[in-house]
Structure formats: C-alpha cells, structure tokens
Copies of this chain bind each other. A is one copy, B any other.
Amino acid sequence: MADVRRYFDLPSPFAMKRGGRLHRARLAYETWGTLTPARDNAVLILTGLSPSAHAASSADDPSPGWWEAIIGPGKALDTRRWFVICVNALGSCKGSTGPASIDPATGAPYRLDFPELALEDVANAAHALAQGLGIERLACLIGCSMGGMAALGYMLLHPGSVRAHISISTAPQAQPFAIAIRSLQREAIRLDPNWNEGRYDDAHYPEHGMQIARKLGVITYRSAIEWHGRFGRIRLDAEHREDDPFGFEFQIESYLEGHARRFARSYDPNSYLYLSRASDWFDMAEYGAGDVLAGLRRIHVERALVIGVDTDILFPLQQQQQIADGLTASGATVEFVALDSPQGHDAFLVDTERFGAAIARFMAAG
C-alpha cells in the first residue's frame, strides 16, 4: 500500500528544549474532514507513546485507525463538522523524525545521537504543524496519555493557540510510580545485549528487551479487575504449551506474549527510550516555580474536558483531578469526568462508548 500519510517539514533548524537542534526534520500526520475557510474548526490530537497518526480510516487508507470508534462522520469527533488532525509525535518512528531517521549531517541513522527530547519539543513541533496548515487557533486540542502531557505543554508555550481542550488519562507531571515502571521498561531494553547502545539492526534486534518492556506496559495499562473477568485462571490447551518447565501455562501469559511479539518489531527501541524518558522529565511544576497547580494556572483555554479512569494505576485519577483543578483555577470552564471503566489506562481505546459520549457532549456544546 502506498504511503498515504502527509508530511510537514519543520522549520530547520528546529531548536529543542534541552539544547539540541534538528535539521530537515518532519512530522507525519493524517487529517479527516474539511478545514473551514475561517480555519476555525480544527481539532488536533496528540497521541500516546506508541500510536501512529492513523487514528481513523479514510478513503486513502481504509484500514481501521487506533481511535476508529471516535472519529468519523456522525461520531464523537464528527468529521462532517470538524477538521481532525492526528500527528505522529516528534521522536516517534511512524513517519515523524526520530532516532531511527537519517541524520542529514551524516547520512546515517541518528540512533543515540538524536538530541535529548522533551515533550515540549513534541508540543512545539505539533504547534508548528498547526501553524503550517494556517491554523492560528485550534477549536480543540486533544491529548491522550503521553499526548495529554504534550498538550499541556502546547497550551502553556503557545498562549491563545487553543480554544478548548480535552485531557485524557494523563498527568501534569510524572510521578514516581510511573517513572519506576518506565525506568524498568527502559532497563529491560538496555540490558538486552542486542540493544548494543542503540546500534541494533534487524538481524541483531533487542527483541527480548522490547517484549519485557511491552508486557510491563500492557500489565500496567489494564486493571486486575478486568483481567479477572476476562482470563480468570483459564489454562492454555496442551498443544499451545511449550515444552519448558517454566513455559506459559495460563491464557493471560499467552495474551501478553502475543501483544509483546506484535509490538517488539513494530516500534523502534530507541524511539521508545527517548519518548519514555521525555515522559519522565515532563513536569508542569517547572512553569509554576515548583508548584504543579501554579504551572497549570498559567494555561489559558476557554473550556476543558478532563477525563480519567479510576482503575488507571499509571495515570491515577488524582492526577486528572489535579489537571481539572488547575485549569479551573486558570479561569477555564472545566468538566471533570471520572469513569469507572475496568480497562484502566487503556480505557480510552476500549471503552469508546463512554469516552465517545463525553467527548461528543463536550464538542456539541462548543
């Protein structure tokens, strides 16, 4: 299939928060719907760590997107009304420039020579894209998970650029539990001898490290309650068991293995390390003299919808409440929706009925 993504060339050099510069960098993005002549109906989506810009199917690419149930004609993000843009994060590996991209200065992949990446860089790159599309002010900026952190940075660094905001299962700063999980994921990758300080290739690929990292991700993205209902203690059939005394025996183990295998080769390990570390670094308190709420208060949007899930152990509900409180204190009209979805952090990808309902209501009121 042809590459139907669109590409946006970032200003070159593109200056980064921690001092680096990128030359001839670009972002991959996709759009749905039509931008009005007044350019006032744009909705920009910043994604979590792993998704691509393919959030929904289109005539050009009919394969289902990662938020297929939310985006489309008549859906929560109604593409008959809204011009929806989804961007692959700077530093990712789904078309945007990242550690696996060719460094024009050397003709070889950046690998660990990619500059230190912050979520503010992800935000600034996405803002440059919006500007490049002629959109001075987004009708709505949506951020999910890691993208929610980048969205907070976007609004803070570009005052007046966003009218309404939807914050989904994210955090105003990385807290130690999430840092611990991500640090361990990075360690599993780095300890894989095939990682080789970032100089792997297809034949020598840190597959085991990526699999452990992904399994740990999937475990923390979901909730104990959901898995109890879904998997219980169901055993694998004898023919699906390995001939190994400690091999997989329960369905939950093979479920994780399937997820990990699919992911390991489809995501660049160095991109994973860079974006994971960027998430640990993110802290709205930097903009509030050490106080998260003071940082959030410096954001100005008219309206915000903040959605969280009470079974999310990675981005706990208290952090969603904190975002809602901070944006309220900033003067925004804030709706805070706490869902009891059993799917934990991943609920926004799965419980699309309830997320869709909240989003649709918010978008209709705009």
Contacts and interface: CB of A to CB of B under 8 A. Distances in A.
User: Secondary structure at chain A's binding surface: helix, strand, loop or mixed?
Assistant: helix
A181 B219 contact: yes
Contact of A253 (B179, B223, B283, B313): B179
Contacts of A184: 212, 215-216, 219, 256
A224 B304 CA distance: 26
Interface stretch (A28-36, A47-55, A88-96, A227-235): A227-235
B228 A175 contact: yes
Nearest to A286: B233
B216 A176 contact: no
A246 B273 contact: yes
Interface stretch (A72-80, A130-138, A187-195, A357-365): A187-195
B186 A188 contact: no
A245 B188 contact: no
A183 interface: yes
A248 interface: yes
B224 A177 contact: yes
Oligomer: number of copies? 2
A256 B313 contact: no
A232 B316 CA distance: 15
Given A224-B316, A313-B224, A256 B175 contact: no
B277 A246 contact: yes
Nearest to A252: B176
A21 interface: no
Contacts of A231: 176
Interface in A193-249: 193, 208, 212, 215-216, 219, 223-224, 227-228, 230-233, 245-246, 248-249
A227 B180 contact: yes
A330 interface: no
B191 A256 contact: no
A285 B173 CA distance: 43
A248 B182 CA distance: 11
A184 B250 CA distance: 12
A301 interface: no
Contact of A246 (B180, B186, B223, B251): B186
Contacts of A249: 280
B256 A183 contact: yes
A7 to B, nearest CB: 28
11 contacts: A175-B224, A175-B233, A176-B228, A176-B231, A176-B233, A178-B224, A181-B219, A184-B216, A191-B208, A191-B212, A224-B313
Given A176-B252, A187-B212, A224-B313, 5 more contacts: A175-B232, A176-B250, A180-B256, A181-B219, A193-B193
Closest 7 CB pairs of A and B: A177-B224, A176-B252, A176-B227, A176-B231, A183-B253, A191-B208, A175-B228
